Structure 1
Amino acid sequence: MGTLNKLIQNRFAMICIIFLVTVVLTGFFAPWLAPHNPVDVNVKEKLAGISTTYPMGTDQLGRCILSRLLYGIRTTVLIAFITMAATIIIGTLIGGIAGLFRGKIDEIIMRICDIFMSFPSEVMILAIIGMMGPGITNIIIASIIAKWAWYTRMIRSIVIKYTDKNYIQFARVSGFSRWHIFRKHIMPNATGEIAVLATLDIGSVILMISALSFLGLGVQAPTPEWGMMLSEAKNVMIIHPGLMLPPGIAILFVVAAFNFLGDSLQDAYNVKHRKRWR
């Protein structure tokens, strides 16, 4: 309750939470909120200005920018959430096993993590996408492969920290299994720190997804996605630079909100800062 009170009392954190919840809900209800189909092409209305029909104008193919921006939430943010959730689950399972059993199992897992962490995550993602080809599924797989080792190592350290607590030692002496101790005693206490790690990193996942789409290695046209919108807008940047503003501002605000929320969670849980491996 103390942690929750700290978070509630932090006005900036609450603003970030309200903003992010609004963004997610807007993406969920995009089919009802968007004024047009995001992939409908109308060349006669290309590069149209702001109007009641097109509240943010149209792009070089006459597609509604507002509609593509709203549907882009579903693509960009959803991929980021799926990637982060899968990475956290894998990292928690493997990191929990390493932290609980220690010994040879821990040593083998850590050496495998060292191998994966010896490559910069961005380089590994580009290499995997280059081999597997562009696409939403391949982005998720590449991101998980590049990030699971870091989360495994971090979660292992969290588990080890809690295994030295007196109540954990008492549970062991009482005959409870390691799985029971992990599920009932360690995870409820470690969840806050894991949430901090995920919240601080999800912004970088969104940037990575947008960057890959911008380079043509991520989400493919005509699927609406913020990085793809930036990539398409750069083709007419000289004659119509305003096209880059909506997706660029959307990425900026969402990433900043996740970063500020992560900092607030870090303060609320009193988690020491861990520098993200690059």
Structure 2
Amino acid sequence: MNVWRRLKTDKLAILCLSLLLLVITAGIFAPILAPHNPLEMNILQKYAGVSQTYPLGTDQLGRCILSRLLFGIRTTVFFALVTMCITITIGTLLGIISGFFRGKVDEIIMRFCDIMLSFPSEVMILAIVGVLGPGLLNVVIANILAKWAWYTRMIRSVVIQYIDKDYIRFAKVSGCSTGHIMRKHLLPGVSGEVAVFATLDTGWVVLNISALSFLGLGVQAPTPEWGMMLNEARNVMITHPAHMLAPGLAIVIVVAAFNFLGDSLHSAINPKHFQMKKKRSRLNVFTRSKKAIRY
């Protein structure tokens, strides 16, 4: 049973994957799905309630909340995906090089990783954004610089587990080039672990982008972004508390979906963990059935 077949048997994984694909699709087609221009202001319609014209109402400047929510997918989710792709690429490349060559190359890369990992990631992100200045691009750079070392060390540990496998030794003895071994043998071996790490940490990056935008260090007005929308709704939290629900729920749902999908992907890649999960599920069903019969 391959990974995809195991995932298909996990209803929670399918639900999370479908939800994330729906969100990404909505972000791609936001100009078509959005009923209004997210930057268009209409002071006469500020704080308008839910209606056919404004399905989620309007904010303090009369802008359509639904339109801003849809376009906010591009700045919040899409840039989180871009950040993770770059971080994973750097971490995987350096981790494979470090674990494969060892020696001085490994020492140099690991010492740089030790320096980067000696600072808490959140503190480093705030420091980098403080130096570079507010802005979405600077937030992306800060997240990459804060996480590449952790991925490099994790991928290195996985490569070291694979480097002594018989098929790797056979490839070396057969005269295969270093690039061929890395590309055809090591990279497929670590791809599963990379996918799990990336899925779990994408939700973390979404939270970081939203949090920095909420603090005024990330996306700047009037660009639609979920954290920025929360910051704007905070000023009217007492009089119009419903304005915080849309961006707040969007962040919670997307982050939870990435976390649950990462957990399910880890179970699907690890057969022993997957079997234990199935046994626990069956045991819970059996226990609930016994209680139902008892009562």
TM-score band, normalised by shorter chain? over 0.9
The aligned residue for residue 6 of structure 1 is 6
Alpha-carbon distance in structure 1 between the residues aligned to 2:196 and 2:218: 27
- Paired residues, number: 273
Residues 1:249 and 2:252 aligned together? no
| 8 A contact 2:215–2:231 mirrored in 1 | yes
The aligned residue for residue 127 of structure 2 is 127
The aligned residue for residue 26 of structure 2 is 26
Alpha-carbon distance in structure 1 between the residues aligned to 2:249 and 2:180: 46
1:272: how far off?
A: 9.8
Name the SS for the 1:246 alignment partner.
helix
| 8 A contact 2:230–2:247 mirrored in 1 | yes
The aligned residue for residue 73 of structure 2 is 73
The letter of the residue matching 1:169 is: R
Query: Cα 1:122–1:271, aligned 2, differ >3 Å: closer, same or farther?
Result: farther
| 8 A contact 1:266–1:272 mirrored in 2 | no
The aligned residue for residue 102 of structure 1 is 102
Larger Rg: 2
TM-score, normalised to structure 1, is 0.96
Q: How does 1:171-186 map to 2 (within 5 A)?
A: 171-186=171-186
Q: How does 1:207-222 map to 2 (within 5 A)?
A: 207-222=207-222
The aligned residue for residue 279 of structure 2 is none
| 8 A contact 1:13–1:264 mirrored in 2 | yes
Alpha-carbon distance in structure 1 between the residues aligned to 2:24 and 2:129: 27
| 8 A contact 1:3–1:268 mirrored in 2 | yes
TM-score, normalised to structure 2, is 0.91
Alpha-carbon distance in structure 2 between the residues aligned to 1:22 and 1:88: 24
The letter of the residue matching 1:16 is: C
Gaps of 5+ in 2: 274-295
The aligned residue for residue 38 of structure 2 is 38
| 8 A contact 1:28–1:74 mirrored in 2 | yes
Percent of pairs with identical residues: 67
Alpha-carbon distance in structure 2 between the residues aligned to 1:161 and 1:61: 57
The aligned residue for residue 64 of structure 1 is 64
The letter of the residue matching 1:247 is: P
| Pairwise CA RMSD | 1.2
Alpha-carbon distance in structure 2 between the residues aligned to 1:201 and 1:82: 12
Alpha-carbon distance in structure 2 between the residues aligned to 1:133 and 1:78: 21
1:159: how far off?
A: 1.2
Alpha-carbon distance in structure 2 between the residues aligned to 1:123 and 1:83: 18
Query: Cα 1:272–1:98, aligned 2, differ >3 Å: closer, same or farther?
Result: farther
| 8 A contact 1:88–1:148 mirrored in 2 | yes
Alpha-carbon distance in structure 2 between the residues aligned to 1:192 and 1:62: 46
| 8 A contact 2:96–2:186 mirrored in 1 | no
Moved more, 206-215 or 158-167: 158-167
1:43: how far off?
A: 0.6
Alpha-carbon distance in structure 1 between the residues aligned to 2:2 and 2:66: 41
Alpha-carbon distance in structure 1 between the residues aligned to 2:253 and 2:272: 25
1:263: how far off?
A: 0.2
The letter of the residue matching 2:47 is: L
The letter of the residue matching 2:268 is: A
The letter of the residue matching 1:59 is: D
Q: How does 1:89-168 map to 2 (within 5 A)?
A: 89-168=89-168
Name the SS for the 2:235 alignment partner.
helix
The letter of the residue matching 1:114 is: D
